[in-house]
Amino acid sequence: MNSLKYLHLQQSEKQNAFWLLLFDFLKELVYDRESMGGKNVKLEDVFASSPVITAVKDDTGLRHAMEKDCAIVFILYGTICNIAQIVETVKEHGKLAIVHVDLIMGLGSKEVAVDFIKENTQADGIISTKPGLVKRAMELGLIGGQRAFLIDSIALENTRKQLASFRPDFMEIMPGMMPKILRLIRETSSVLLVAGGLLSDKQDIMAAFQAGVDAVSTTKEDLWEV
């Protein structure tokens, strides 16, 4: 009910109208809480409450991730034929579903790949090494995560320059077991940072957090509940 119309109602009608407005408000509130994709949910708060992100690369990992308390799942596998079903499984368990579009078989490297995810799945966001796809995701209202492979000093410098000109919703740094490099990135930008790749034990994870990252992602199931 329109709140302006409410002001012109008779007193007897206002009581009923009040409860209708309250009911509508509660419905929206519940939806935002369950979907976790609403604008009222801040990604930094999700990272703070669930800093170890489960990354899954097959159906077995997906099934095990659904049994954990993690709030976010990075989906690192699938095809254009089954990605909608994979995402649906994640959403049915009340988790954020972030799809690595570069790893979905059948999707190309053009922006239309992101459009496909938006129109055909319930995904909350995407990850990609391609800035154009990340930007497109953000334009469509999806979470946009940039993955960067820091294999040498040139890659590091390019990443720092990129962050100066474009701010994704989060950046995933690969490999994640380089605390000195992670600290350099943190000193460069306030963007949300995720460390991922080659994290082998609890010490690696703690070192990443001490370097200033906001979350870590891993496919190693024994680290999901560190």
* One domain, residues 15 and 99: no
CA distance 66 to 76: 15
* One domain, residues 68 and 21: no
Q: What share of the chain is helix, strand, coil (3-state, %, to 5)?
A: 50, 20, 35
**35: pLDDT confidence band, cut at 50, 70 and 90?**
very low
8-state DSSP, 198? S
Whether the Cβ atoms of residue 53 and residue 217 lie closer than 8 Å to each other: yes
Q: Are strands 125-128 and 143-149 parallel, antiparallel or unpaired?
A: parallel
Percent share of the chain, pLDDT over 90: 81
Q: Specify if 204 maps to a domain.
A: yes
Q: Specify if 51 maps to a domain.
A: yes
Q: What is the pTM of this model?
A: 0.83
* One domain, residues 22 and 62: no
* One domain, residues 101 and 198: yes
| 172: β partners | 147, 194
Residue matched to tokens 């329109």: 2
Report CA torsion sign: 161, 168, 140, 96.
Answer: positive
Write out pLDDT tens, residues 74-122. 999 999 999 999 999 999 999 999 999 999 999 999 999 999 999 999 9
Backbone angles phi, psi at 63, to 5 degrees: -60, -40
**215: pLDDT confidence band, cut at 50, 70 and 90?**
very high
Q: Specify if 109 maps to a domain.
A: yes
**226: pLDDT confidence band, cut at 50, 70 and 90?**
confident
* One domain, residues 54 and 65: yes
Domain tally, the chain: 2
For the ranges 26-40, 76-90, 171-185, the lowest mean pLDDT is seen at: 26-40
CA distance 203 to 208: 9
Write out pLDDT tens, residues 138-167. 999 999 999 999 999 999 999 999 999 999
Domain of 199, CATH number, reads 3.20.20.70
Report CA torsion sign: 122, 125, 127, 133.
Answer: positive
Measured at the alpha carbon of residue 71, what is the angle toward residues 91 and 225, in degrees to the nearest 5? 130
Q: Specify if 3 maps to a domain.
A: no
CA distance 69 to 61: 14
**What mean pLDDT value characterizes the chain?**
87
What pLDDT was estimated at residue 31? 29
For the ranges 3-17, 80-94, 132-146, 202-216, the lowest mean pLDDT is seen at: 3-17
* One domain, residues 16 and 66: no
Could you give the C-alpha distances from 17 to 7, 11, 22, 26, 64, in angstroms and in order? 10, 10, 9, 14, 46
Range of the domain at 65: 42-223
Q: Specify if 167 maps to a domain.
A: yes
CA distance 108 to 92: 27
Q: Specify if 57 maps to a domain.
A: yes
What pLDDT was estimated at residue 180? 96
All residues at 6 or more sequence positions from 214 whose CB lies less than 8 Å from its CB, including other chains = 44, 47, 48, 51, 170, 192, 193, 194
**41: pLDDT confidence band, cut at 50, 70 and 90?**
confident
Q: Specify if 1 maps to a domain.
A: no
